[in-house]
């Protein structure tokens, strides 16, 4: 349908045939207002679809972790993406993401004695005004063969040729512990670069300790009601990077 003819129909409010709308002569200003409104609706629809697509990629990541689908998982990442989980350090690029998963997490596919259950909750996506940069914050509860843990994700996405991909995956652990003692005793204070292969390309971007200590991962989004940005962690609470345990 001709765009100008469609605008004529909308401005005139006609429900009849298009030929009737063509006889109307609304002003150019009125047509411009309607065009702006249509563009605004289109932009909102695009933004809503972007938010949904980001969530889909994030959720797909979790399901691919569950079944050790490392090829499919690494395909979710842009060629120049980075991955940083726990205190292991930063891995650069699509191929290194695959190497980290296959070497560090085990061979491809489910097998006897292996559990990598990765449940994600409370995912909150957002899209920047440029329309090609996105963010998401999620909580994940991990149940693995080695123990269970709780992790925050603050990830960055990029839109390439209409497809959203990971630009940066940043997943600091809040807690990790074995099954027998639970998370009250014998907790793992954090991973570190040399704990297991492969070795990272860069050191961790932040130094912190997990439960019973604490680390406040900054929020990428403002308060949805007040629009205020959350303040950075206070040095009085134990430092900018991590807090200290209150236990004796």
CATH number of the domain enclosing 114? 3.10.450.50
Would you state the pLDDT for residue 243? 42
Burial class of residue 143 (count of CB atoms within 10 Å of its CB; 0-12, 13-18, 19+): middle
Q: Does residue 91 lie in a domain region?
A: yes
Closest CA to 163 of 63, 78, 238: 78
| Tally of domains in the chain | 1
What is the span of the domain harbouring residue 48?
Answer: 3-11+26-237
Closest CA to 166 of 45, 245, 60, 47: 60
Intervals of the chain under pLDDT 50: 1-11, 14-22, 237-248
Contact by Cβ (8 Å): 89, 198: no
Would you state the pLDDT for residue 231? 76
Q: For 13-51, what is each residue's pLDDT tens digit?
A: 534 444 444 455 678 888 888 888 888 888 899 999 999
Burial class of residue 215 (count of CB atoms within 10 Å of its CB; 0-12, 13-18, 19+): buried
Q: Does residue 133 lie in a domain region?
A: yes
Strand runs labelled E in 111-146: 116-127, 133-144
Q: Does residue 186 lie in a domain region?
A: yes
Closest CA to 231 of 215, 219, 214: 219
Would you state the pLDDT for residue 95? 96
Helix, strand, or coil (residue 9): helix
Contact by Cβ (8 Å): 210, 128: no
The first and second tokens of residue 5, run together, are 């003819």
Q: Does residue 16 lie in a domain region?
A: no
Q: For 151-171, what is each residue's pLDDT tens digit?
A: 999 999 999 999 999 999 999
Would you state the pLDDT for residue 88? 92
């Amino acid at each position: 349908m001709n765009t100008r003819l469609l605008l004529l129909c909308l401005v005139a409010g006609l429900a009849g045939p298009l030929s009737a709308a063509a006889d109307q002569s609304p002003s150019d200003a009125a047509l411009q207002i309607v065009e702006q409104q249509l563009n605004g609706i289109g932009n909102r629809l695009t933004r809503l679809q972007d938010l949904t697509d980001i969530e889909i990629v994030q959720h797909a990541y979790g399901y691919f972790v569950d079944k050790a689908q490392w090829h499919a998982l690494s395909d979710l990442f842009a060629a120049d993406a980075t991955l940083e989980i726990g205190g292991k350090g930063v891995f650069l690029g699509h191929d290194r993401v695959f190497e980290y998963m296959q070497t560090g997490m085990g061979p491809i596919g489910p097998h006897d004695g292996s559990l990598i259950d990765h449940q994600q909750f409370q995912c909150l996506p957002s899209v920047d005004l440029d329309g090609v940069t996105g963010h998401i914050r999620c909580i994940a509860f991990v149940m693995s063969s080695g123990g269970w843990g709780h992790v925050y994700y603050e990830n960055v996405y990029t839109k390439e040729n209409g497809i959203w991909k990971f630009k940066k995956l940043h997943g600091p652990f809040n807690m990790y512990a074995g099954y027998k003692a639970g998370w009250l005793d014998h907790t793992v204070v954090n991973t570190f670069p040399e704990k297991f292969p492969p070795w990272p390309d860069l050191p961790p971007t932040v130094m912190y300790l997990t439960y019973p200590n604490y680390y406040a991962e900054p929020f990428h989004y403002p308060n949805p009601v007040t629009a205020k940005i959350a303040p950075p962690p206070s040095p009085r609470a134990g430092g900018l990077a991590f807090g200290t345990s209150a236990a004796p």
